[in-house]
Homo-oligomer: A and B are copies of this chain.
Amino acid sequence: MSPTQPTLKNTKATGPVTIEMVAQLAGVSLSTVSRILNGTAVVSDAKKQAVDRAIAELDFVPNPMARSLAGGRSHSIGVITRAIDSPFYGAALRGIEETLDPAGYSSLFVSGHFDVNLEKRCFDLLRGRRVDGIIVLTGHLPDSNLKTYAKSLPLVVTGRTLKAKGLVSLDFDNFEGGRLATAHLLSLGHQKIAVITGEASHKDSTERLRGHCAALAAAGLPFDPRLVVAGDYLELGGVRAVEELLAQKIPFTGIFALNDQMAAGAALALHRLGKHIPSDYSLVGFDDLPQSVYAAPPLTTVRQPAYELGELAAECMIQLLKGESPSVKPPGPSLIVRESTRALERR
């Protein structure tokens, strides 16, 4: 610090540095510092330099609460997810965090557990915290509610196709994903394919099943509803489904589990019953969870790029906040062939 600088009330004293101290050190007004900080107006180069120097010297970081109060924006985005430790949405959360953060927004994650009432409560909580916008990862809220919410603040929703002002929806092509999975099994010669579904209330699940049927139809094969058994998107559902399926005594050689967690359960049940994958049954999952590549055997599955989806959702939110109307096409599904599927041997 140069000896000619004016005396400061609080050079290196207690508590954090304030904008006032910066202004004083730089010899400019509060407003000027603020403008430089926010790039709100053109400022002479000399002052800018002085201020930058002062900021660096004092190690100044603006108080986010004060900034928010005065500016009317909290610089935080609410994210309603199934659960903070959801195996699938985890990557999406990371994608959101990693794109929101450099843009100066912090993320507030809340767990809605795919429950309408909880999700509503999450909304109230986030609004109470004055978030600038909300990202809803799928969830179970009715479209009508979402449209209403979008009237009061920017909204990005995944897993739907919805048109409304201040709202962007990012749908994933579950139908095509389902089609890919079954087409793969068919190409390997499997014609009797069992399906383990999610809950009927999950639109994802019904779409994936539709894709399955479409692939069957395209191959001129009949759809046997007896081979469709209801799971719950959790491992245990996969276990039970396989037990049920085998008890039925209706022959099949392929299994399409509508998500990887159920596929893991199915693999375990098969293992316990002494059946081998892929020599006895070929198994396809959906999602491509991080652990699926390390399953024994590694799981053939339909990849749903969760991280990228999170990134995209965050980018849309940033644009919405700027007053733009983002138009995006979410990444599509792709088949990842690993070791849980194999060509059917003619017997």
Name A residues whose Cβ lies closer than 8 Å to a Cβ of B: 16, 61, 63-66, 68-69, 74, 83-85, 87, 90-91, 93-94, 97, 106, 108-109, 111, 124, 127-130, 235, 239, 261, 264-265, 267-268, 270-272, 290-291, 293-298
Contacts and interface: CB of A to CB of B under 8 A. Distances in A.
Contact of A291 (B87, B130, B272): B87
Contact of A265 (B128, B261, B294): B294
B61 A65 contact: no
Chief secondary structure at chain A's binding surface: helix
A90 B84 contact: yes
A267 B291 contact: no
A121 B259 CA distance: 37
Nearest to A298: B268
A125 to B, nearest CB: 9
Contacts of A290: 85, 87
Contacts of A128: 61, 64
A129 B109 CA distance: 16
Contact of A69 (B65, B83, B90): B65
A242 B270 CA distance: 25
Given A84-B90, A267-B296, A130 B69 contact: no
B74 A85 contact: no
B268 A64 contact: no
22 contacts: A63-B69, A65-B68, A66-B69, A69-B69, A83-B94, A84-B109, A85-B91, A85-B93, A87-B290, A97-B109, A97-B111, A106-B108, A235-B291, A235-B294, A239-B294, A264-B295, A268-B294, A268-B296, A270-B296, A295-B295, A295-B296, A296-B296
